[in-house]
Amino acid sequence: MNYYLHLRMKNLPIWSLIVVLLAACQPRQQAAEDDVFFFTSFHEPADEGMRLLYSLDGLTWQGLVSIFIKPEIGEQKIMRDPSIVRGPDGTFHLVWTTGWRGTKGFGYAHSKDLVNWSDQRAIDVMEHEPTTVNVWAPELFYDDEADQFIIIWASTIPGRFEKGIEDEDNNHRMYYTTTKDFKSFSETKLFLDPGFSVIDAVIIKRDKQDYVLVLKDNTRPNRNLKVAFSDSPVGPYRHISEPFSDHLTEGPTAVNVGAEWYIYFDSYGNHHYEAVKTSDFKVFENANEEISIPEGHKHGSIFKGTKKQLDYIKQVLENGGIE
Protein backbone atom coordinates (compact mmCIF):
# COMPACT_ATOMS: atom_id res chain seq x y z
CA MET A 1 0.00 0.00 0.00
CA ASN A 2 1.20 3.52 -0.78
CA TYR A 3 2.78 5.01 2.41
CA TYR A 4 1.01 8.36 2.04
CA LEU A 5 -2.33 6.61 1.62
CA HIS A 6 -1.54 4.44 4.66
CA LEU A 7 -1.00 7.51 6.83
CA ARG A 8 -4.23 9.10 5.65
CA MET A 9 -6.20 5.91 6.28
CA LYS A 10 -4.92 5.73 9.87
CA ASN A 11 -6.75 8.99 10.58
CA LEU A 12 -10.04 7.97 8.97
CA PRO A 13 -13.09 6.99 11.04
CA ILE A 14 -13.98 3.31 10.75
CA TRP A 15 -16.99 3.86 8.43
CA SER A 16 -14.84 5.88 6.01
CA LEU A 17 -12.15 3.21 6.07
CA ILE A 18 -14.72 0.57 5.09
CA VAL A 19 -15.89 2.69 2.15
CA VAL A 20 -12.31 3.20 0.95
CA LEU A 21 -11.48 -0.52 1.19
CA LEU A 22 -14.67 -1.56 -0.60
CA ALA A 23 -13.99 0.91 -3.42
CA ALA A 24 -10.44 -0.40 -3.76
CA CYS A 25 -11.78 -3.94 -4.20
CA GLN A 26 -14.16 -2.98 -7.03
CA PRO A 27 -13.02 -3.66 -10.60
CA ARG A 28 -12.22 -0.60 -12.66
CA GLN A 29 -15.13 0.58 -14.77
CA GLN A 30 -14.95 0.84 -18.54
CA ALA A 31 -14.22 4.34 -19.81
CA ALA A 32 -17.78 4.46 -21.15
CA GLU A 33 -20.50 2.01 -22.09
CA ASP A 34 -21.13 3.84 -25.36
CA ASP A 35 -17.78 3.04 -26.87
CA VAL A 36 -18.82 2.37 -30.47
CA PHE A 37 -20.10 4.75 -33.13
CA PHE A 38 -22.53 3.47 -35.77
CA PHE A 39 -23.32 5.21 -39.06
CA THR A 40 -26.52 4.43 -40.99
CA SER A 41 -26.11 4.10 -44.74
CA PHE A 42 -27.67 3.02 -48.01
CA HIS A 43 -26.45 2.44 -51.53
CA GLU A 44 -28.10 3.84 -54.62
CA PRO A 45 -30.71 3.30 -55.96
CA ALA A 46 -31.88 2.87 -52.34
CA ASP A 47 -34.08 -0.17 -52.98
CA GLU A 48 -31.98 -2.70 -51.03
CA GLY A 49 -32.33 -1.33 -47.49
CA MET A 50 -30.29 0.07 -44.63
CA ARG A 51 -26.62 -0.67 -44.16
CA LEU A 52 -24.39 0.15 -41.17
CA LEU A 53 -20.83 1.32 -40.68
CA TYR A 54 -19.02 1.31 -37.33
CA SER A 55 -16.06 3.13 -35.81
CA LEU A 56 -14.19 3.07 -32.52
CA ASP A 57 -12.91 6.62 -32.83
CA GLY A 58 -15.55 8.41 -34.93
CA LEU A 59 -13.08 8.89 -37.79
CA THR A 60 -12.14 5.52 -39.31
CA TRP A 61 -15.23 3.63 -40.48
CA GLN A 62 -15.72 0.03 -41.51
CA GLY A 63 -18.74 -1.49 -43.19
CA LEU A 64 -20.82 -4.30 -41.73
CA VAL A 65 -21.54 -6.20 -44.92
CA SER A 66 -25.26 -6.80 -44.67
CA ILE A 67 -28.68 -5.30 -45.22
CA PHE A 68 -30.13 -4.78 -41.74
CA ILE A 69 -33.69 -3.92 -42.73
CA LYS A 70 -35.31 -3.99 -46.17
CA PRO A 71 -37.93 -1.46 -47.32
CA GLU A 72 -41.45 -2.88 -47.27
CA ILE A 73 -43.70 0.18 -47.24
CA GLY A 74 -44.44 2.94 -49.72
CA GLU A 75 -45.27 2.63 -53.38
CA GLN A 76 -41.64 3.07 -54.46
CA LYS A 77 -40.25 0.64 -51.85
CA ILE A 78 -37.09 2.62 -51.14
CA MET A 79 -35.19 3.36 -47.94
CA ARG A 80 -33.23 6.58 -48.20
CA ASP A 81 -31.74 8.85 -45.53
CA PRO A 82 -32.01 6.38 -42.62
CA SER A 83 -31.79 8.13 -39.24
CA ILE A 84 -31.43 6.23 -35.95
CA VAL A 85 -31.53 7.41 -32.34
CA ARG A 86 -31.21 5.18 -29.30
CA GLY A 87 -33.79 5.99 -26.64
CA PRO A 88 -33.14 6.07 -22.88
CA ASP A 89 -34.45 2.48 -22.56
CA GLY A 90 -31.92 1.24 -25.12
CA THR A 91 -34.38 0.88 -28.01
CA PHE A 92 -33.13 1.97 -31.43
CA HIS A 93 -35.68 4.03 -33.38
CA LEU A 94 -35.34 4.32 -37.17
CA VAL A 95 -37.01 6.69 -39.63
CA TRP A 96 -36.40 6.98 -43.38
CA THR A 97 -37.58 8.47 -46.68
CA THR A 98 -40.03 6.10 -48.42
CA GLY A 99 -40.43 7.90 -51.74
CA TRP A 100 -39.21 10.75 -53.89
CA ARG A 101 -42.63 12.31 -54.45
CA GLY A 102 -46.26 11.61 -53.74
CA THR A 103 -45.72 10.58 -50.10
CA LYS A 104 -47.27 12.19 -47.04
CA GLY A 105 -45.01 10.62 -44.43
CA PHE A 106 -41.90 8.63 -43.58
CA GLY A 107 -41.15 5.07 -42.53
CA TYR A 108 -40.62 3.92 -38.94
CA ALA A 109 -39.36 0.77 -37.21
CA HIS A 110 -37.60 -0.04 -33.94
CA SER A 111 -35.14 -2.62 -32.65
CA LYS A 112 -33.35 -3.65 -29.47
CA ASP A 113 -30.25 -5.02 -31.18
CA LEU A 114 -30.11 -3.52 -34.72
CA VAL A 115 -30.64 -7.01 -36.13
CA ASN A 116 -34.25 -7.88 -35.30
CA TRP A 117 -36.69 -5.16 -36.32
CA SER A 118 -40.34 -4.46 -35.66
CA ASP A 119 -42.93 -4.30 -38.40
CA GLN A 120 -42.55 -1.19 -40.53
CA ARG A 121 -45.10 1.61 -40.32
CA ALA A 122 -45.80 4.73 -42.35
CA ILE A 123 -46.10 7.85 -40.18
CA ASP A 124 -48.24 10.19 -42.32
CA VAL A 125 -47.22 13.50 -40.77
CA MET A 126 -48.33 15.60 -43.80
CA GLU A 127 -51.64 13.89 -44.46
CA HIS A 128 -53.45 17.07 -43.40
CA GLU A 129 -51.78 18.95 -46.30
CA PRO A 130 -53.21 17.31 -49.46
CA THR A 131 -50.96 19.23 -51.87
CA THR A 132 -47.72 18.13 -50.17
CA VAL A 133 -45.21 17.12 -52.82
CA ASN A 134 -42.82 15.08 -50.68
CA VAL A 135 -41.47 14.15 -47.25
CA TRP A 136 -37.68 14.02 -47.37
CA ALA A 137 -34.87 13.02 -45.02
CA PRO A 138 -36.62 12.65 -41.64
CA GLU A 139 -34.10 13.19 -38.85
CA LEU A 140 -34.47 11.97 -35.27
CA PHE A 141 -33.34 13.84 -32.18
CA TYR A 142 -33.87 12.78 -28.57
CA ASP A 143 -34.62 15.79 -26.37
CA ASP A 144 -33.38 14.70 -22.93
CA GLU A 145 -34.67 17.90 -21.32
CA ALA A 146 -38.30 17.19 -22.28
CA ASP A 147 -37.90 13.38 -22.49
CA GLN A 148 -39.30 13.21 -25.99
CA PHE A 149 -38.23 12.51 -29.55
CA ILE A 150 -38.26 15.25 -32.17
CA ILE A 151 -38.54 14.32 -35.85
CA ILE A 152 -37.78 16.98 -38.46
CA TRP A 153 -38.10 16.67 -42.26
CA ALA A 154 -38.33 18.71 -45.45
CA SER A 155 -41.57 19.09 -47.43
CA THR A 156 -42.83 21.24 -50.28
CA ILE A 157 -46.34 22.70 -50.25
CA PRO A 158 -46.76 24.65 -53.51
CA GLY A 159 -47.82 28.26 -53.01
CA ARG A 160 -47.29 28.23 -49.24
CA PHE A 161 -44.13 30.33 -49.17
CA GLU A 162 -42.58 33.05 -51.29
CA LYS A 163 -41.37 31.36 -54.44
CA GLY A 164 -37.92 32.92 -54.55
CA ILE A 165 -35.69 31.29 -57.13
CA GLU A 166 -37.08 27.77 -56.74
CA ASP A 167 -39.95 26.16 -58.61
CA GLU A 168 -43.13 25.79 -56.58
CA ASP A 169 -42.71 22.01 -56.39
CA ASN A 170 -39.15 22.34 -55.06
CA ASN A 171 -39.55 25.13 -52.51
CA HIS A 172 -38.89 23.17 -49.30
CA ARG A 173 -39.32 24.13 -45.67
CA MET A 174 -38.59 22.10 -42.54
CA TYR A 175 -41.41 20.69 -40.41
CA TYR A 176 -41.48 18.74 -37.14
CA THR A 177 -43.48 16.58 -34.78
CA THR A 178 -42.72 15.17 -31.32
CA THR A 179 -43.49 11.85 -29.64
CA LYS A 180 -42.68 9.94 -26.49
CA ASP A 181 -43.70 6.48 -27.70
CA PHE A 182 -43.92 6.55 -31.53
CA LYS A 183 -47.61 5.74 -31.20
CA SER A 184 -49.05 9.20 -30.67
CA PHE A 185 -47.53 12.30 -32.27
CA SER A 186 -47.95 16.01 -31.72
CA GLU A 187 -49.50 18.20 -34.39
CA THR A 188 -47.16 18.83 -37.29
CA LYS A 189 -45.69 22.33 -37.13
CA LEU A 190 -43.35 24.48 -39.20
CA PHE A 191 -39.81 24.01 -37.92
CA LEU A 192 -37.72 26.32 -40.10
CA ASP A 193 -38.46 28.94 -42.73
CA PRO A 194 -35.14 30.66 -43.47
CA GLY A 195 -36.53 32.48 -46.50
CA PHE A 196 -35.11 29.97 -48.97
CA SER A 197 -35.57 26.31 -49.87
CA VAL A 198 -34.05 24.19 -47.10
CA ILE A 199 -33.61 20.42 -46.61
CA ASP A 200 -31.43 17.92 -44.69
CA ALA A 201 -31.38 19.63 -41.29
CA VAL A 202 -29.74 18.05 -38.22
CA ILE A 203 -30.10 19.16 -34.58
CA ILE A 204 -26.98 19.17 -32.38
CA LYS A 205 -27.01 19.76 -28.63
CA ARG A 206 -23.88 21.41 -27.28
CA ASP A 207 -25.24 22.20 -23.81
CA LYS A 208 -28.46 23.08 -22.06
CA GLN A 209 -30.15 25.89 -24.01
CA ASP A 210 -27.39 25.71 -26.63
CA TYR A 211 -28.33 24.04 -29.92
CA VAL A 212 -26.89 24.12 -33.42
CA LEU A 213 -28.76 23.28 -36.59
CA VAL A 214 -26.82 22.08 -39.62
CA LEU A 215 -28.89 22.62 -42.77
CA LYS A 216 -28.69 22.52 -46.53
CA ASP A 217 -29.49 25.65 -48.51
CA ASN A 218 -31.18 23.86 -51.39
CA THR A 219 -31.45 26.82 -53.77
CA ARG A 220 -29.91 26.14 -57.17
CA PRO A 221 -26.99 28.59 -56.89
CA ASN A 222 -25.98 27.29 -53.47
CA ARG A 223 -26.85 23.68 -52.59
CA ASN A 224 -24.37 23.77 -49.72
CA LEU A 225 -24.32 23.53 -45.92
CA LYS A 226 -24.77 26.20 -43.25
CA VAL A 227 -25.41 26.37 -39.50
CA ALA A 228 -27.88 28.26 -37.30
CA PHE A 229 -28.29 28.61 -33.54
CA SER A 230 -31.03 28.43 -30.89
CA ASP A 231 -31.59 28.01 -27.16
CA SER A 232 -34.24 25.34 -27.84
CA PRO A 233 -34.10 22.17 -29.96
CA VAL A 234 -37.31 23.19 -31.77
CA GLY A 235 -36.08 26.72 -32.43
CA PRO A 236 -36.43 29.39 -33.50
CA TYR A 237 -33.01 29.10 -35.16
CA ARG A 238 -31.26 32.34 -35.97
CA HIS A 239 -27.97 33.76 -37.27
CA ILE A 240 -27.69 31.48 -40.29
CA SER A 241 -24.04 31.31 -41.29
CA GLU A 242 -22.28 31.55 -44.58
CA PRO A 243 -21.74 28.12 -46.21
CA PHE A 244 -18.96 25.97 -44.81
CA SER A 245 -19.10 23.33 -47.59
CA ASP A 246 -18.66 23.42 -51.34
CA HIS A 247 -21.39 23.49 -53.97
CA LEU A 248 -23.39 20.24 -54.36
CA THR A 249 -23.11 18.93 -50.79
CA GLU A 250 -25.88 17.51 -48.60
CA GLY A 251 -26.88 14.96 -45.95
CA PRO A 252 -24.92 16.26 -42.93
CA THR A 253 -24.48 14.42 -39.64
CA ALA A 254 -22.17 15.25 -36.74
CA VAL A 255 -20.15 13.48 -34.05
CA ASN A 256 -18.27 14.89 -31.08
CA VAL A 257 -14.68 13.63 -30.86
CA GLY A 258 -12.68 15.18 -28.04
CA ALA A 259 -12.84 18.96 -28.27
CA GLU A 260 -13.96 18.90 -31.90
CA TRP A 261 -17.22 18.34 -33.73
CA TYR A 262 -16.82 16.49 -37.02
CA ILE A 263 -19.56 17.20 -39.57
CA TYR A 264 -19.79 14.51 -42.23
CA PHE A 265 -21.61 15.14 -45.50
CA ASP A 266 -22.15 13.73 -48.94
CA SER A 267 -20.18 15.69 -51.52
CA TYR A 268 -22.30 14.34 -54.35
CA GLY A 269 -20.78 16.74 -56.84
CA ASN A 270 -17.40 15.09 -56.24
CA HIS A 271 -18.85 11.59 -55.73
CA HIS A 272 -17.36 11.00 -52.28
CA TYR A 273 -17.90 11.66 -48.56
CA GLU A 274 -16.19 14.54 -46.81
CA ALA A 275 -15.93 16.09 -43.36
CA VAL A 276 -15.04 19.33 -41.64
CA LYS A 277 -14.20 19.85 -37.99
CA THR A 278 -15.00 22.74 -35.68
CA SER A 279 -14.87 23.57 -31.99
CA ASP A 280 -17.23 26.56 -32.13
CA PHE A 281 -19.34 26.16 -35.31
CA LYS A 282 -17.89 29.41 -36.55
CA VAL A 283 -14.53 28.31 -37.94
CA PHE A 284 -14.51 25.09 -39.98
CA GLU A 285 -11.43 23.13 -41.04
CA ASN A 286 -11.22 20.51 -43.77
CA ALA A 287 -10.90 17.08 -42.11
CA ASN A 288 -10.86 14.83 -45.17
CA GLU A 289 -7.36 13.53 -44.44
CA GLU A 290 -8.47 12.37 -40.98
CA ILE A 291 -11.43 10.22 -42.03
CA SER A 292 -11.90 6.95 -43.87
CA ILE A 293 -15.32 5.85 -45.20
CA PRO A 294 -16.16 2.82 -47.40
CA GLU A 295 -17.03 3.50 -51.00
CA GLY A 296 -20.72 3.75 -51.87
CA HIS A 297 -21.80 5.13 -48.47
CA LYS A 298 -24.73 7.57 -48.73
CA HIS A 299 -26.64 10.00 -46.52
CA GLY A 300 -27.02 8.61 -43.01
CA SER A 301 -26.78 9.52 -39.33
CA ILE A 302 -24.22 8.75 -36.63
CA PHE A 303 -25.39 7.33 -33.31
CA LYS A 304 -23.81 5.60 -30.34
CA GLY A 305 -23.95 1.94 -29.39
CA THR A 306 -21.94 -0.48 -27.30
CA LYS A 307 -19.12 -2.90 -27.96
CA LYS A 308 -21.44 -5.69 -26.83
CA GLN A 309 -23.95 -4.74 -29.52
CA LEU A 310 -21.25 -4.62 -32.18
CA ASP A 311 -19.93 -8.04 -31.11
CA TYR A 312 -23.45 -9.48 -31.34
CA ILE A 313 -23.92 -8.11 -34.87
CA LYS A 314 -20.56 -9.55 -35.98
CA GLN A 315 -21.48 -12.93 -34.48
CA VAL A 316 -24.80 -12.94 -36.35
CA LEU A 317 -23.05 -12.11 -39.61
CA GLU A 318 -20.42 -14.80 -39.08
CA ASN A 319 -23.13 -17.37 -38.38
CA GLY A 320 -25.00 -16.92 -41.62
CA GLY A 321 -26.12 -13.33 -41.66
CA ILE A 322 -29.44 -11.55 -41.27
CA GLU A 323 -32.48 -13.08 -42.90
Phi and psi dihedrals of 200, rounded to 5?
55, 50
Q: What is the pLDDT of residues 1-17, one digit of tens each?
A: 443 334 333 444 444 44
pLDDT tens readout for residues 92-134 = 999 999 999 999 999 999 999 999 999 999 999 999 999 999 9
| Full-model pTM | 0.89
Q: Are 153 and 175 in contact (CB under 8 A)?
A: yes
More confident residue, 35 or 18: 35
pLDDT of residue 161: 95
Q: What percent of the chain shows pLDDT beyond 90?
A: 87
The yes-or-no verdict on residue 178 having pLDDT over 70 is: yes
Q: Is the pLDDT of residue 28 over 50?
A: no
- Predicted confidence at residue 33, as pLDDT, reads 58
Q: What is the mean predicted confidence (pLDDT) over 167-171?
A: 95
User: 189-210, pLDDT tens digit by residue?
Assistant: 999 999 999 999 999 999 999 9
**pLDDT at 32 (0 to 100):** 57
Give the CATH class of 36-318: mainly beta
Asked if residue 76 lies in contact with residue 93, where contact means CB atoms within 8 angstroms, the answer is: no
